[in-house]
Amino acid sequence: MKLKYLITLSLLTLVIAMQAQQPIDKNTTKETTALYRQLLTLIQKKQILFGQQDATAYGLDWKSEKNRSDMKTVSGTHPAIYGWDVGGIEKESKKNLDGVDFNEMRILIKEAYQRGGVNTISWHLINPVSNQSAWDTKTVASIDSILPDGAYNAKYNAFLDRLATFLGTLKTDDGIFIPIIFRPYHENTADWFWWGSQNSVVSYVKLWRYTVTYLRDTRNLHHLLYAYSPDKTSSHEKYFERYPGDDFVDVLGHDCYHFGGVATANAYLTKTREMLLYIAENAKKRGKPTAFTETGLETVNQNDWWTNVLYKTIDNVPIAYVLVWRNANNRPNHFYGPTPNHPANQDFMKFIGKCNIITGNKLTQQ
């Protein structure tokens, strides 16, 4: 009887644990649920996926070449996590704001998934009121005017419909929806985007919840995990000031770039690590994964940055992944990942050689 009781209790504990590891969408696809649990497992194993924005779309001196990335040229492996942006889809552009053709993006997302990689998408959408870029902060009351009863609600719904149509095409050849970590309205604690801190907390929360509800319930998209990713804040508590709630967020993320090179390295390391640990502690209480959703040092002008700054920032911090920004092919000094013949490449190889840093090649060995 005791053994039977113990077995029953163990099974009940397992069922409760599995139920806790569920995305906010109760109708999510099994593949998306599996990704959610994979993120939590990575944290438990103290492993961190390494990724880059637009890694296979272009690099420092190339664009649209099959099976290529600057990272692969330098190290022999693609990233484990691939970042994309759908800014421009809302105005029916053929290419996103960084010149990536949406048809090509669809192919690259599928290829990344077939390699075992993870795809995450951000959205630098235009200001719906002014039709100017995401960085247009001069137009006031942008959020309130696109919510229900607002003058631009129908227009924003059209934006969401175009986004949803694209997201709905992200499938394998067998018709399986590819899981996506969707990261809208990021860096909301700063004031450089129209959805930023110049808006009220109430308005931002309403925008987030409306967007999730529309995509999930109105457009029936069930292959998305939703990542919340504020920029650095004046205090830890500020991180949650605009938090939409546990029922509307899957992943607790953080964006924080290193500016200033060697002179500011220690301050960046210390403050960012403290913030990530704070976020991870709160994410654990909520049963949610944590991620370092955007970071980097432009031009990587510190030759030991990978091991002595980034690695020391994230080592033994319970995050599922870290993503550095893109290597622009039309802006020579706008790159954040490894590039051919860069003096920091040797240090990068040491970084990805760490046993807890997972790249594309290591994914296949899991």
Q: Please name the amino acid found at residue 174.
A: D
- The reply to whether 274 belongs to the active site is no
Secondary structure of 24-60 in HEC code, one letter for each residue: CCCCCCHHHHHHHHHHHHHHHCCCEEEEEECCCCEEC
CA distance 89 to 226: 18
Token code pair at residue 293: 């959703």
Token code pair at residue 230: 């504020």
**Cα dihedral angle (264, 283, 240, 19), rounded to 10 degrees?**
160
Out of 104, 274, 294, 298, pick the active-site residue: 294
- The reply to whether 237 belongs to the active site is no
Q: What angle (nearest 5°) sits at the alpha carbon of residue 338, between those of residues 120 and 351?
A: 85
Closest CA to 43 of 272, 294, 290: 290
Cβ(294)–Cβ(323) under 8 Å?
yes
Out of 31, 90, 111, 187, pick the active-site residue: 187
CA distance 294 to 186: 10
- Phi then psi for residue 324, to 5 deg, are -95, 160
CA distance 107 to 73: 20
Cβ(127)–Cβ(136) under 8 Å?
yes
- The secondary element (H helix, E strand) that includes residue 182 is strand 180-183
Pairing status of strand 224-228 against strand 81-85: unpaired
Token code pair at residue 109: 């997302």
Active site (catalytic) residues: 187, 294
